[in-house]
Amino acid sequence: MTKSSFTNIQSEYLAVIDHAKCVRCKRCIQNCGWGTYSFGGDKIIADHSKCVACGRCYTYCPEGAISILKNPTVMRENGNWQDYHIKNIWRQSETGGIAISGMGTPLKYKKYFDHILLDACQVTNPPIDPLREPMELKTFLGKKPSKLELDFNEDDQPVLKNPMPPQIELATPFIFAPMSYGSISLNAQKAMALAARALGIVMNIGEGGLHDELVPFGKNIIVQVASGRFGVNRDYLNSGVAVEIKIGQGAKPGIGGHLPGEKIGADISRTRMIPAGTDAISPAPHHDIYSIEDLRQLIYAIKEAINYEKPVSVKVAAVHNIAAIVSGIVRAGADIVYIDGFTGGTGAAPIIIRDNVGIPIEIALAQVDQRLREEGIRNEASLVAAGSIRSSADAVKAIALGADAVAIGTAALVVMGCHICGKCHTGNCSWGITTQRPELTRRLDPEEYGEKLYNLINAWSHEMKDILGAMGVNSIESLRGSKERLRGIELTDSELKVLGIKHAGM
C-alpha cells in the first residue's frame, strides 16, 4: 500500500510561541526530542503535528514564551464514536499495524483506591505522634515459616533452631518497579540505584540485563529473568539480593516484548548479550514454562544457581483468575509474588491489550491475600503490589488490602521529568528517560534525580508514618492486611465484597 500524502489526524496539541517574548535562543529546538521546532531565519517555527505535550520545551524556555495548548479544532462530538476510536481507525488504516503506545492506560476506568477511605483514632484509642514515638516501616520480603522453631542453649535461653529463609530487608515498604536498560536509559536506572541505596530499599532492573556500572549497587538490586533471558548467566543471578521471574506485566498481560534493532547499540548489546542491531524479542510465554510445574522447575533451577541464599520472586499480571494463579505460584516455591495491576505502566504495548486486558490491582490484591489466607499459606510468600501507585495513600491502601510492599514505576519516572505523554516506545523522550539517543540521555543527571527520588520516597514514608500514627499503630505490620481500617465509598455491594471491605458508616 502506498502511504497517502496527508493524514486525517489533526495535531493533538499546538506549540504556540509568543514571538514578542522569544529571544531566539533556540533552546527549545535543542530540547525537543521530537523535532517540533526549527529556526525559520528570523523566528522559531513549530510543527504542531510532532508535539506530544511532554513539557520539556516550556520547562526549559528561559522567557516563558512557549505554551502548549490542546488543539481547539473539534472533531464532531459523539458519545459512542469518540476521538480515541476514530483516530485509532485512521492511524491503523494508514499503517496496517497494531497500534502501539507507551505508559499505562489513559482511559478513565474506575480507580478503586479513590473509593477507599482510611480510619483514624478518636477518644477510645489514642493516635500516636510519629514525631515523638518510634514508627516502624521496616519490611522483610520473603517466605516466613508458619511457626517459630526453637532450641535452647546451655543457659537454657531460647535460640533459633533453623536459620530464617532468605529475606530482602526494606527500610520502607517501597521498591522501584522493573524497568529495563533499553526501555529506559542507563542514567535513569542509575538515578534509581542511587536512591535505592540511600533509602535502604531496592530497585528492580527489569529484563534487560545488568549494566557493568550498576554492579556495585548489587545490595539494592533485584535481577530479572524474563522470557527473552537477556543477560542471564550465573553471575547475573547472583549479583542482586533476589531474582525475579517475569511472567507478565499489568499493561500487557499475555503479551511479550519487542525492543527494535535500531535501539540495540553496542552498550545494550553487551548488557543484553545479543548481537547489536538485532531485535530483542521477549516471547509471550517462557518457552520452558507451559504450565505451573514448569514454573516450579525454573524457580528451583534458579534457587540451585543462587544456592538458596536469596529469595525468588515471580511477577505476574493481574488477570481474572489471579487468586488461583498466585496460589499455584506460591505452592510452586516462589518466595515473593509481584502482582502488576491493569493500570500498570509499560515502555510499549499494543493499545488494544493495554486498554482492555486484566483487572485492577486493588481487586486482585484483595482476592489473592484472602485466598492465600484461606489456604493457610499467606506466610509462604510476600506480596508486592504495583500498577500505578500514585501517592502514599495508594500505598497505604494497598498494604491494608494485603500487600507487603508496593512497587512504583511511573511515579519514579515522573520524578525524572516524565509528563506521561505515552510515547516511550518511540525512543525520543525529551527527558532522557525512555530513549537511548546520547544527546537526550546525557541530560538526565543520575545524582540530581537520585536525590529527587530519595526525597519522594522519604516524603511518602513520612506521610505513611503520619497515617499509621493517626490509626493508632506504630508498626506497618499492624496495618498490613488490616482491611478493617478501610471503608468503601460509592461502591456497590459486589465491589465491597470482592474487596473484602465495608461501606463507610458500617
Partner 1 sequence: MLRLKNNFSIEHDIAGCGLCGIINIRKIRTNGEDIKKAIALEHDRGNGLGGGFAVYGCYPEYADLYAFHVMYDDLAAKHDTEEYFKNNFIIEKQESIPVFKTSKINDHPILHRYFLKPKSDREDRLLHDLGDDDFVVSSVMLINSEYDGAYVFSSGKNMGAFKGVGYPEDIADFYMLDNVEGYMWTAHNRFPTNTPGWWGGAHPFTLLDWSIVHNGEISSYGINKRYLEMFKYNLALKTDTEVIAYILDLLIRKHGLPVELAMNVLAAPFYQTIEKMEPKQKELYTALRQIYGSALLNGPFAIIFGYPDGMIALNDRIKLRPLVAGTKGDFTYIASEESSIREICSSPDIVWSPKAGEPIIIKTINTENISQKQRLIIS
Q: How far apart are CA 206 and CA 245, in angstroms?
A: 10
Can you name the residues that pair with 314 across neighbouring β-strands? 245, 337
The SS3 call for residue 350 is strand
Measured from the CB atom, the residue of 247 and 473 that comes closer to partner 1 is 473
Select the residue interacting with partner 1 from 50, 111, 144, 331 (CB under 8 A): 144
The DSSP line for 100-116 is: EE-SS--S----GGGGE
Q: How far is the CB of 470 from partner 1 (least distance, A)?
A: 10
Task: State yes or no: residue 309 binds partner 1 (CB under 8 A).
Answer: no
The binding track of 279-298 with respect to partner 1, each residue x by CB under 8 A or -, is --------------------
Task: State yes or no: residue 504 binds partner 1 (CB under 8 A).
Answer: no
The binding track of 162-181 with respect to partner 1, each residue x by CB under 8 A or -, is -xx--x--------------
Show the CA angle centred on residue 488, arms to residues 487 and 493, nearest 5°.
125
Q: How many CA atoms lie less than 13 Å away from 286 in the CB half-sphere?
A: 25
Task: State yes or no: residue 265 binds partner 1 (CB under 8 A).
Answer: no
Task: Please name which of 388, 396, 389, 402 lies closest in space to residue 467, comparing C-alpha atoms.
Answer: 396
The binding track of 435-464 with respect to partner 1, each residue x by CB under 8 A or -, is ------------------------------
Site size for partner 1 (CB under 8 A): 42
Select the residue interacting with partner 1 from 303, 310, 354, 485 (CB under 8 A): 485
Select the residue interacting with partner 1 from 373, 391, 438, 489 (CB under 8 A): 373
Task: State yes or no: residue 403 binds partner 1 (CB under 8 A).
Answer: no
Residue type, 286: H
Measured from the CB atom, the residue of 73 and 146 that comes closer to partner 1 is 146
Question: Could you tell me if 187 and 445 are in contact, meaning their C-beta atoms sit under 8 angstroms apart?
Answer: yes
Select the residue interacting with partner 1 from 107, 160, 215, 489 (CB under 8 A): 160
Q: How far is the CB of 200 from partner 1 (least distance, A)?
A: 12
Task: State yes or no: residue 483 binds partner 1 (CB under 8 A).
Answer: yes
Q: How far is the CB of 371 from partner 1 (least distance, A)?
A: 12
Taken in order 259, 265, 268, 273, the sign of the CA dihedral is positive
Task: State yes or no: residue 131 binds partner 1 (CB under 8 A).
Answer: no
> How many residues are given for the chain?
506
Task: State yes or no: residue 136 binds partner 1 (CB under 8 A).
Answer: yes
Select the residue interacting with partner 1 from 238, 426, 458, 482 (CB under 8 A): 482
Task: State yes or no: residue 83 binds partner 1 (CB under 8 A).
Answer: no
Q: Exposed e or buried b for every residue in 323-362, given b needs 16+ CB within 10 A?
A: bebbbbbbebbbbbbbbbbbbbbbbbbbbebbbebbbbbb
Select the residue interacting with partner 1 from 11, 281, 472, 504 (CB under 8 A): 472
Largest Cα–Cα separation, the chain: 89
Task: Please name which of 110, 82, 88, 112 lies closest in space to residue 100, comparing C-alpha atoms.
Answer: 88
Measured from the CB atom, the residue of 279 and 375 that comes closer to partner 1 is 375
Task: Please name which of 136, 12, 14 lies closest in space to residue 68, comparing C-alpha atoms.
Answer: 14
Phi and psi at 214, nearest 5°, equal: -95, -10
Show the CA angle centred on residue 242, arms to residues 158 and 244, nearest 5°.
130
Q: What are 381's three cell numbers?
A: 510468600
The binding track of 86-125 with respect to partner 1, each residue x by CB under 8 A or -, is -----------------------------------x--xx
Select the residue interacting with partner 1 from 18, 133, 279, 288 (CB under 8 A): 133
**In the complex, which residues of this chain contact partner 1 (CB under 8 A)?**
121, 124-126, 128, 133-134, 136, 138, 140, 144-148, 150, 153, 158-160, 163-164, 167, 373, 376, 378-379, 471-475, 477-485, 502
